[in-house]
Structure 1
Amino acid sequence: MKTQVAIIGAGPSGLLLGQLLQRQGIENVILERRTGEYVLSRIRAGVLEQSMVDLLREAGVDENMDAEGLPHEGFELAFDNRRERVDLKELTGGKTVMVYGQTEVTRDLMEAREAVGAQTIYEAENAQPHDLESDSPYVTYEKDGEVHRLDCDYVAGCDGFHGVARQSIPADRINTFERDYPFGWLGMLSDTPPVAEELIYASHARGFALCSMRSKTRSRYYVQVSNEERVEDWSDERFWEELKRRIPDDVAANLVTGPSIEKSIAPLRSFVAEPMQYGRLFLVGDAAHIVPPTGAKGLNLAASDVNTLYRVMVKVYQEGRTDLIERYSEVCLRRIWKAERFSWWMTSILHKFSEEEDFNARMQRAELDYYTGSEAGLKVIAENYVGLPYESLE
């Protein structure tokens, strides 16, 4: 079998890249080691930057997002039992974010791909790229007990942090930078109305908390926990009580509780691999970088990579601009490091790092007080939260 772009991974980044390429007449095949049902079962991010919303519209998968998504013009930072609103729309000249779950984004992209008959091969095990520095790379994989070969012009590694794509780059051709944080987020999903119309990021002496949502009837809440905690030790009652302690009193008074649909703990880490290209292999999304979820950048950074690679491929196939291939990594990394900085900063000022009321804790309060009390400070937060603009390849 032969195609133009082989995409490893059928998560939202792989599916979005495939959809955009397909609409430009660029052939692609997606290989996914899991089933489609498993891919849809993963509960992930739900805040989309303005640029990602625009990219989904370009991909022609905006109908459900517009019908069910929740546009947000701001969010709140809570500390010292007070709430400070960041007016995104006012501070950024009209930009907003969209609350629309990753599961829904993935489903929309799956259905769009199926509608045009584009090929996704699920349960394609042991995918392995070959001859990546040649003009004729290919990917082998196993399906139904047989080994198959997919010849292609380029390979897009959209297979996540633990995927094969990054591991296919020789160790002496790639550098990695990372930071692990001494805590994680315990998240709970519940069919209860959100406690507020906009997200609330709360800093408290007991630890960080986040009040978020997936819809007008489904809420997503998080509390900071140590890396030693286990989900099994957190009953629904314990979670709700801890959340109430960490959010402002007036918010806690309006909190509607109920049984959980799902609970999980996600460790927090920062990670970047560079360069993001090796021969004809391109790393996309979590294959190249991880951010703490505090700034809502994970899925959005993947979309940013997709945007850059998609536009490179369009130039290659429609204009013969192969010179742009070498620019993929540098263009992506400029935006990635700025998003890493914002996610690190948000994590640093909102989370509890010590049991003591130490120097760091006082600095966190000073940062929050300064940024929320300054129009310039609020503008810095707002323009990063809605997402920095995509870089042009012209």
Structure 2
Amino acid sequence: MKTSTSQPRRTQVGIIGAGPAGLLLSQLLHQQGISSVVLENRSRQRVETRQRAGLLEQNTVDLLREAGAAARLDRQGLVHDGVLLSYNGQRHRVALAELTGGAHVTIYAQPEVIKDLIARRLDTGGTILFEADATRIEGLETDSPTIHYTYQGEALALECDFVAGCDGFHGIARQAAPAGFFKTYDKVYPYCWLGILARVAPSTDELIYAFHERGFALHSMRSSEISRLYVQCDPADTVDDWPDARIWAELHQRLGTAGWTLQEGPILEKTITPMRSFVTEPMQYERLFLAGDAAHIVPPTGGKGLNMAVADTKNLFDALRAHYQDGDDALLRGYSAACMRRVWRVQEFSNYMTEMLHLLPGKPAFDQYLQQSRFDLLTTCEAASRVLAENYVGMASHRASEGVALA
């Protein structure tokens, strides 16, 4: 391959991955006069259409506004002040705003967040190279690490001051440190989610998380016309095992409660999502900093994946700004520790929600009674509901319940 000189060869922060973390970091840095280049190995169309999470914490919405990328979100996002939990048809509403002093969550699909960030970044003259495949990182122990990548058939190199690895679980960033440097911790759950997008108005004004003797179900939404629904399924299942009629039958049973009707509509998409927890520690090596799925994954039950990536981004942005503007590297040195405090809190919350609401294959009746007891506590104890609400809307430093476990 030949080497090109038409692409940028030097920047201050080299960012691998055009997901929420990489794009938001690039835009925030730009607003402070700090240069960056984003390398993304997928096409723009693929990045903007891949279906992912749709629940945004208050902190995430606030940071997107700070980045100037929330105009559509503010117009189209669905603000929720509560969430519904169901146990075999018995529902309990957790009043999020009332229990947290006014905080809430906003339903706005991740592909739309990505579109908004890409448009904002390009409008402000940013450099995003799509279908640019990062192949290796060198010189992390020096003042000028280099990201090697291929783009339009050419072998290229990007020198930078720092590398932000926002390239997901399968990316190369985490592999750039010496073997054994990063410690990993994981848990694989014995069930999956079958998710659908349906062209039908949501049958609920607030999300419904449901435990049922047949398995978990979730009624969410992507807009006022599109519903997003999930059912617990076996890891061995494929989408072919779930014809439309079977999906709707299970949703009716698992979500059903007296006086409420689930509306059906054409199913536009079916996917199966494995359930796992994963943590890499530390989240930095020399001049490499990991963010988002490159460092941690949570089961989707608590809607935390995108929000964790954004929280990492805020910590990394603050650290880089302090380095360039104040000559202070204390936040860079403490980046991993600052992120980890939140990462493990969110892992615990996501695990709590997952294990409370899913049918536990092979578990004794004792564990099932524990699930019932946890739900009963939420329905009878305001303090328990408040802790769940604080965790659900997002843990900021000023929130009283940060670091409080639920079980």
The interval holding the TM-score normalised by the smaller chain is over 0.9
Q: Counterparts of 2:371 and 2:179 in 1: how far apart (Å)?
A: 38
Query: What does residue range 23-172 of structure 1 map to in structure 2 within 5 Å?
Result: 23-172=31-180
Q: Counterparts of 1:155 and 1:340 in 2: how far apart (Å)?
A: 26
CA drift of 1:233 comes to 1.6
Q: Counterparts of 1:230 and 1:80 in 2: how far apart (Å)?
A: 26
CA drift of 1:324 comes to 2.0
Per-residue displacement from partner, 1:273-326 (whole Å, max 9, x unpaired)? 000000100000000000000111100000000000001111111111123211
Per-residue displacement from partner, 1:231-261 (whole Å, max 9, x unpaired)? 112111110111111013337x521111111
* 2:313 aligned with 1:300: no
Q: Counterparts of 2:313 and 2:243 in 1: how far apart (Å)?
A: 39
CA gap 1:21/1:126 in 2 versus in 1, 3 angstroms? closer
Q: Counterparts of 1:126 and 1:60 in 2: how far apart (Å)?
A: 28
Q: Counterparts of 1:223 and 1:214 in 2: how far apart (Å)?
A: 17
Amino acid at match of 1:323: A
- Aligned residue for 1:211? 219
Query: What does residue range 243-282 of structure 1 map to in structure 2 within 5 Å?
Result: 243-250=251-258, 253-282=260-289
Q: Counterparts of 1:357 and 1:324 in 2: how far apart (Å)?
A: 47
- Aligned residue for 2:357? 350
CA drift of 1:354 comes to 2.6
- Aligned residue for 1:330? 337
CA drift of 1:97 comes to 0.6
Q: Counterparts of 1:50 and 1:203 in 2: how far apart (Å)?
A: 26
* 2:249 aligned with 1:238: no
Q: Counterparts of 2:299 and 2:312 in 1: how far apart (Å)?
A: 18
The ranges of structure 1 where at least 4 consecutive aligned residues each deviate by more than 3 angstroms after the TM superposition are none
Q: Is the CA contact 1:202–1:246 (under 8 Å) kept in the aligned structure 2?
A: yes
- Aligned residue for 2:401? none
Q: Counterparts of 1:3 and 1:250 in 2: how far apart (Å)?
A: 60
Query: What does residue range 357-376 of structure 1 map to in structure 2 within 5 Å?
Result: 358-376=365-383
Q: Counterparts of 1:236 and 1:34 in 2: how far apart (Å)?
A: 31
Q: Is the CA contact 1:304–1:390 (under 8 Å) kept in the aligned structure 2?
A: no
CA gap 1:93/1:257 in 2 versus in 1, 3 angstroms? same
CA drift of 1:356 comes to 6.8
CA drift of 1:12 comes to 1.4
Pick one of 19, 42, 47 that aligns with 1:11.
Answer: 19
Q: Is the CA contact 1:73–1:88 (under 8 Å) kept in the aligned structure 2?
A: yes
- Aligned residue for 1:228? 236
Structure 2: any 5+ residue segments left out of the alignment?
A: 1-8, 399-407
Q: Counterparts of 2:256 and 2:266 in 1: how far apart (Å)?
A: 22
Structure 1: any 5+ residue segments left out of the alignment?
A: none
CA drift of 1:390 comes to 5.0
Per-residue displacement from partner, 1:180-203 (whole Å, max 9, x unpaired)? 000010000011011100000000
Pick one of 305, 319, 328 that aligns with 1:321.
Answer: 328
Q: Counterparts of 1:216 and 1:146 in 2: how far apart (Å)?
A: 45
- SS of corresponding position for 1:172: coil
Per-residue displacement from partner, 1:116-139 (whole Å, max 9, x unpaired)? 110001111243211111111110
Return the TM-score normalized by structure 2: 0.94
Amino acid at match of 1:23: Q
Q: Is the CA contact 1:29–1:119 (under 8 Å) kept in the aligned structure 2?
A: yes
Q: Counterparts of 1:41 and 1:170 in 2: how far apart (Å)?
A: 35
Q: Counterparts of 2:178 and 2:273 in 1: how far apart (Å)?
A: 29
Amino acid at match of 2:386: K
Amino acid at match of 1:169: A
CA drift of 1:171 comes to 2.5
Amino acid at match of 1:144: Q
Q: Is the CA contact 2:16–2:134 (under 8 Å) kept in the aligned structure 1?
A: no
Per-residue displacement from partner, 1:208-232 (whole Å, max 9, x unpaired)? 0000001111100000001000011
CA gap 1:356/1:272 in 2 versus in 1, 3 angstroms? closer
**Sequence identity percentage:** 50
Amino acid at match of 1:204: H
Q: Counterparts of 2:362 and 2:146 in 1: how far apart (Å)?
A: 53
Q: Is the CA contact 2:218–2:231 (under 8 Å) kept in the aligned structure 1?
A: yes
CA gap 1:312/1:390 in 2 versus in 1, 3 angstroms? farther
- Aligned residue for 1:286? 293
Q: Is the CA contact 1:74–1:89 (under 8 Å) kept in the aligned structure 2?
A: yes
Amino acid at match of 1:198: E
Q: Is the CA contact 1:51–1:390 (under 8 Å) kept in the aligned structure 2?
A: no
Question: For the aligned residues, what is the CA RMSD?
Answer: 1.4
Q: Counterparts of 1:224 and 1:360 in 2: how far apart (Å)?
A: 18
